[in-house]
């Protein structure tokens, strides 16, 4: 019977993407007369694949600068600045107008305020990025709230009205999106929390693709906890299993997504620390077991690692060829030195831009497997883990 179900064409051929097929089989007792297979209908298919490939281009990665106003406030407070629109604009202006950034950065994730904001000279931030060949992206989730019936875990809001918002973001110039949900190892994770995280990500991914935005799929396995690296691997395998199950159920085009996983590390409070080579080996083992090669790019989050740690781990993962582009989508691990250098002072802007270029270049080299930590500052080696961190 199985041979009767084998179509003469391959259902994974790129020319079939975006088409809806009806396959007819001879009627038997075991098979229906026809089987409907939706490969996904959508007018943006080619563009999504092109956008994802452009972001996953050699030697480049993503600058995550999409902190919500509350989180941006924490960043500004760390250098003694008030959290107001003028200060947020000044900081985002520093980042978006760094000449030469596009050599190392292929995409920048923005918060909604920044997507619609301009420089103090009136140039849209979106245009500043495009001039550097950096694709503008947008954070579309509406944050985490407690998940009833779970073990003090959370779920991510934002599906209501998402199609309309995404269409508006596309008009404003965004070409990719981010939805961050989290999984806590010390709190379980419960089956319920994993399933909810995966289902939400898959629904968001389908809606983004329908509106021309490449979805970044980000189930962040938090660093919190004293568990060892094997436990992290076990949980991450479960999570990605569920995520791909629901992505497939929602007919998401794998060629038009990007993943944003956590690296597989021991919990932040685990005594048994592991070197980069071991973290790379575990993380690649996870990815090879769970991620199809049709996914163009894996863009890691830094999750509270120090700038140097995050770069060293990425470098270790790129010592041999991988089926996907293995790169970065860091916030803290790209911005820490920049903030410390800037201190909110106009006279420090040039130096802060150089600090951003230095971090971006280090991660670009790590994407190519050619980074060395020689000469890195003590500041860049400082860990940034915060227990119970809210983004």
Active site residues: 218, 260
At 181, give phi and psi (nearest 5°). Answer: -120, 160
- Minimum distance from residue 41 beta carbon to ligand 13P (Å): 30
Q: Using CB under 6 A, which of the segments 207-215, 225-233, 273-281, 297-305 binds ligand 13P?
A: 297-305
- Minimum distance from residue 15 beta carbon to ligand 13P (Å): 35
Nearer to ligand 13P, 143 or 369 (CB): 143
Q: Is 320 exposed, middle or buried (0-12, 13-18, 19+ CB in 10 A)?
A: exposed
Q: Does 180 bind ligand 13P (CB under 6 A)?
A: yes
Q: Does 330 bind ligand 13P (CB under 6 A)?
A: yes
Which tokens is 137 given? 């992206």
Could you give the string, one character per residue 34-73, with x where binding to ligand 13P holds by CB under 6 A and - elsewhere?
A: ------------------------------x---------
Q: Does 333 bind ligand 13P (CB under 6 A)?
A: yes
Helix residue ranges per DSSP H, 78-214: 85-96, 112-115, 125-131, 162-171, 191-210
Helix (H, G, I), strand (E, B) or coil at 329: strand
Q: Does 302 bind ligand 13P (CB under 6 A)?
A: yes
The b-or-e profile of 321-359 (16+ CB within 10 A means b, else e) is ebebbbbbbbbbbbbbbbbbbbebeeebbeebbebbbbb
Q: Does 111 bind ligand 13P (CB under 6 A)?
A: no
Helix (H, G, I), strand (E, B) or coil at 114: helix
Q: Does 301 bind ligand 13P (CB under 6 A)?
A: yes
302 alpha-carbon distance from chain centroid: 10
Q: Using CB under 6 A, which of the segments 79-87, 98-106, 329-337, 359-367 binds ligand 13P?
A: 329-337
Q: Exactly one of 303, 307, 352, 360 binds ligand 13P (CB under 6 A); which one?
A: 303
Q: Does 263 bind ligand 13P (CB under 6 A)?
A: no
| Pair 110, 64: CB distance under 8 Å | no
Residues in touch with ligand 13P (CB under 6 A): 64, 180, 218, 301-303, 330-333, 391
């Amino acid at each position: 019977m199985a041979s009767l179900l084998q179509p003469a064409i391959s259902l994974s051929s790129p020319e079939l993407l975006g088409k809806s097929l009806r396959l007819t089989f001879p009627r038997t007792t075991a098979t229906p007369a026809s089987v409907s297979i939706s490969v996904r209908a959508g007018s943006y298919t080619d563009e999504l694949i092109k956008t994802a490939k452009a972001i996953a281009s050699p030697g480049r990665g993503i600058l995550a600068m999409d902190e919500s106003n509350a989180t941006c406030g924490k960043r500004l407070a760390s250098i003694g600045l008030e959290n107001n629109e003028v200060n947020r604009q000044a900081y985002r202006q520093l980042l978006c107008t760094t000449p030469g950034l596009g050599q190392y950065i292929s995409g920048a994730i923005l918060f909604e305020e920044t997507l619609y904001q301009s420089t103090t000279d009136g140039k849209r931030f979106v245009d500043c990025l495009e001039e550097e060949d950096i694709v503008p992206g947008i954070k579309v989730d509406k944050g985490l709230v407690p998940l009833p019936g779970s073990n003090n875990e959370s779920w991510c809001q934002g599906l209501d009205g998402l199609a309309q918002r995404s269409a508006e973001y596309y008009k404003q110039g965004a070409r990719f999106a981010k939805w961050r949900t989290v999984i806590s190892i010390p709190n379980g994770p419960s089956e319920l929390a994993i399933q909810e995280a995966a289902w939400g990500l898959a629904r968001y991914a389908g809606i983004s693709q329908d509106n021309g935005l490449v979805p970044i799929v980000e189930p962040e396995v938090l660093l919190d906890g004293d568990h060892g690296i094997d436990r992290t691997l076990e949980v991450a395998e479960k999570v990605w299993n569920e995520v791909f199950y629901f992505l497939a159920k929602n007919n998401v085009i794998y060629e038009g997504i990007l993943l944003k996983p956590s690296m597989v590390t021991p919990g932040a409070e685990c005594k048994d620390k592991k070197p980069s080579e071991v973290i790379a080996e575990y993380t690649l083992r996870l990815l090879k077991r769970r991620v199809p090669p049709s996914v163009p790019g894996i863009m890691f989050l830094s999750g509270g690692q120090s700038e140097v740690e995050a770069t060293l781990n990425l470098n270790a993962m790129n010592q041999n060829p991988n089926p996907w582009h293995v790169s970065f989508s860091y916030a803290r691990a790209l911005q820490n030195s920049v903030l410390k250098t800037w201190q909110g002072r106009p006279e420090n802007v040039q130096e802060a831009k150089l600090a951003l270029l230095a971090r971006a270049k280090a991660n670009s080299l790590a994407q190519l497997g050619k980074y060395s930590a020689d000469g890195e500052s003590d500041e860049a080696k400082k860990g940034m883990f915060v227990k119970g961190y809210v983004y």
